[in-house]
Chains A and B, each alone.
Chain A
Amino acid sequence: MSPLSQLVLSRIREFLREPAAIFWVYGFPLVLAFILGTAFRNRPVESIKIDVVVTDETRAEGEKLVARWKEKDPRLKVELNSEADALDRLRTAKTSLVVTPDPAASARYRTVADDNQPGSVLAKAAADVLILREANPDAKVPEATQAVDQSGGRYIDFLVPGLIGTNLMGGGLFGVGFLIVDMRVRKLLKRYLATPMRKSDFMLSIALSRLLFTLIEIALLLGVAHLPAPVGFGLTVHGNWLVLGLLVLLGGGCFAGVGLLIASRVRTLETASGFMNAFMLPQWLVSGVFFSSDTFPAWLQPLIQLLPLTALNNGLRAVVNDGAGFEALLLAPGGHWTGVFFSPLVVLGAWGGVGFFGAIKLFKWR
C-alpha cells in the first residue's frame, strides 16, 4: 500500500479506536442541537394572565365580563381578585396585568402593567384591544396568519449552521493543530522525518482524513436535524448544496491553516491549548453560534465580521436558511461594514492563507 494510504488509514484507525473522541466530535454537537433546539422550540403564546379587580358587590358583573372577553380571546386566563391581592400577584409575576373597571375613567377601565415583565406588554395589548372593541363594537382587527414557525426561521435553523461552523473550527484546530503538536511531543514527527516518508504525503494524509471526518460530521448533523420531529427538527437546506460544500471546504481549510500555524513551533500541549482557546473562545461568543452577532455594539461589528467563524456562519446560514446560491460566497453583511472584504470567500481565504503560508515559513519537524 502507498505511504499516503497507509498514513490516512492509520489516522482513521486511531480516530475510530478512541471512543471519547468520537463522542465529542460526532455525538456532542447532536446532543447540543437536540437540547437547545428543544428548549428554544418556538411555541405560540399559550396564555395571557390578567387579574380583574372586583369587590363583593361587583363580582357577578366581573364574571360576566370574563365570559365576554374569553369568547373574543381564548388565550386569556382571567382571575377575579381584590385590588390588594391583584397588585400583589402582579408584583410577584403571578399575573401579567391588573384591570380595574372604573366607570369614572375615560376608557371606563384602569390598567396596571409591569414593564419589566415581557408578558405584561402582551397582556396590556390584548386587554386594550378588548376594551376598545367593547367601546366600538363595529371596530375590525386584522387577521394574523402564522409566518415564523416555518423551516428557515426557527431557532434550530439558526443553530445548526452555527454548530457546523463551530465543528469546522474545532476540527481544524484540534484535528490538525493539536494532532501535530502531540506527535511532536511524542517525537513521532522526528521519527517520521528519519524515514524516506515524503513530508507532502504526511500533510496530505492529515488533510484527507480531516476532510473525511468533517464530511461525516456534517452529514450526520444535517441528516439528524432533517428528520421529522420528535427525533429531528425537519430542517431543510434551502440553498445550493454545491455552495454549502464549497463553504465547508473553505471553512475547514481555513481553520486547518490556522491549526497548522499554531502547531508549527509549539512544543507542549499546554501551549497549544492556550493558543487554540485564545483563538476559539472569543469566536464562540461573538461569531453568532448560539445567538446573532448583531446583539453586539456597532463599533465592535467590523472586528466581529472579520473573524473567520462569523464569515463562515453568515455564509452557511445564507445557504441553509435563506436559499442562497453562489452569491453566499461573496455575501457582504449589511450595515456600515458592507463590502466584499467581509465576505466568507475573502475572510476565510485570508485567514487560511496567512495560516498556511505562515506555517510553511515557521514549521519545525523536530
Chain B
Amino acid sequence: MSLAIRVAGLTKTYPANPPVEAVRGVDLEVKTGECFGLLGPNGAGKTTTLEILEGLLEPTGGEVEVLGGRWDKNERDLRERIGISLQETRLSDKLNVGETVALFRSFYKKGIPAEEAIARVSLQEKVRAFVDKLSGGQKQRLAIACALVGDPDLLFLDEPTTGLDPQSRRQLWDVIREFKARGRTVLLTTHYMDEAEKLCDRVAIIDHGKVIALGTPNELILQLGGEHVIDFTLDGSAAHVTPEVLQSVKSVRSARPTPDGGFTLTVSDPPAALPALLELLRTQGAKLAGLTTRHATLEDVFVNLTGRQLRDAD
C-alpha cells in the first residue's frame, strides 16, 4: 500500500531561553486511504507536527514526504492536492457561504464546483447566509467545505470538532467518513479520545513532542492487557486496599488509584474478576460506595502510559 505521508526523525525547536522543543523526534507513516489521528493533550506538539506536514512551518530537523513530494521542491503541486482546516480561522464575516467557497475554489486549478462542496457539508440552505450569522458547527463545516473544494487527495484537519456540540460533531464525522470512502486520506488531530476511536483507522498518541503509542485504537486498547475496565469507589477509607493488593486479584492486569479516592482496574475477564474483587473487599472490611464496568477506551491507554488524565494533562 502506498504512503500518503512519511515522517522520519522530525524535530521542531522554537528559539527561546531555554529553547522550546515542541517536537522531539517523530516518526510516522500514513497510508493512502486511511484516516489517521494524532492524539494528545493540549501542548503535546500535535499542531506543530501538523503544520510542518502542511508546509506552513519549517522543521528544525528530520524528513517529511507528503504525497510523494517535498515541501521545498514541490510546494505548488502539493498545495493543489491537499486541503486544510486550521484550528481557528475567522473567514470574512461579510461574505456569504457561497461566495466564500467560490473564492477558495478560484485558487485551485481543478476541483469540485462550489455548490458540490457546500452540499457535502450539508450547508445548501445557508448558501446566502453571511459567515457571521452561522453557528459554530456551521462555521466549521464551511471551513471544511473550503478545504474540500480543491478536491484534495489528502485532508488535514486540526481539532475539527473542538468546542462543538455533540450533534455538530457527529455531522462532521459523517463528512470525514464520506471523504474517506472516496479513497482519500485524512490526517486529523484531536484531544477527544472517543472521536479518534470512532473515526480513525490508526492513531498516534503524542505527549511532550514524542509518539508514545501507535496503532489501531483496538490494538492500543488491547495493549492494556484487558479491554474491560472496572471503576469503583469505597465508602470511608480502607488502608489495606492498595494497587498492589488489587493487582493480585484474578484477571486484573493493572490497577491505579483515581483522584477521587477510588480505583480503576483493567481486567481481561470481568465475570471472573468481579466475585474475586468483592471477596477481597469483604475480607479487608471495605465498603463499596459505587462500582461500574465498561469497555476500555483510548483515554485509559493515555492514562496508563503517562499516569495523567488527558484533560488535565497540560
A residues apposed to B, CB below 8 Å: 1-3, 5-7, 10, 13-14, 17-18, 186-188, 190-197, 366
Contacts and interface: CB of A to CB of B under 8 A. Distances in A.
B109 interface: yes
B107 to A, nearest CB: 4
B300 interface: no
Contact of A190 (B89, B99, B108, B150): B89
B56 A366 contact: yes
A82 B242 CA distance: 113
14 contacts: A6-B103, A10-B99, A13-B95, A187-B88, A188-B91, A191-B146, A193-B56, A194-B79, A194-B84, A194-B86, A195-B108, A196-B107, A196-B108, A196-B150
A10 B84 contact: no
Contacts of B306: none
Given A6-B106, A10-B99, A194-B84, A18 B79 contact: no
A162 B80 CA distance: 48
Interface residues of B, number: 26
A346 B119 CA distance: 55
Interface of B: 54-56, 76, 79-80, 84, 86, 88-92, 94-95, 99, 102-104, 106-109, 130, 146, 150
B106 to A, nearest CB: 4
Contacts of B99: 10, 13
Nearest to A4: B106
A13 B94 CA distance: 7
B89 A187 contact: yes
A191 B89 contact: yes
A195 B104 contact: yes
Nearest to A198: B107
Contacts of B109: 196
A7, A187, A190, A194 — most chain B CB neighbours (10 Å):
A194
A188 B143 CA distance: 11
A196 B80 contact: yes
Contacts of A6: 102-103, 106
10 smallest CB-CB distances across A and B, nearest first, come from A186-B90, A6-B106, A196-B79, A17-B94, A197-B107, A195-B107, A194-B84, A191-B89, A3-B106, A14-B94
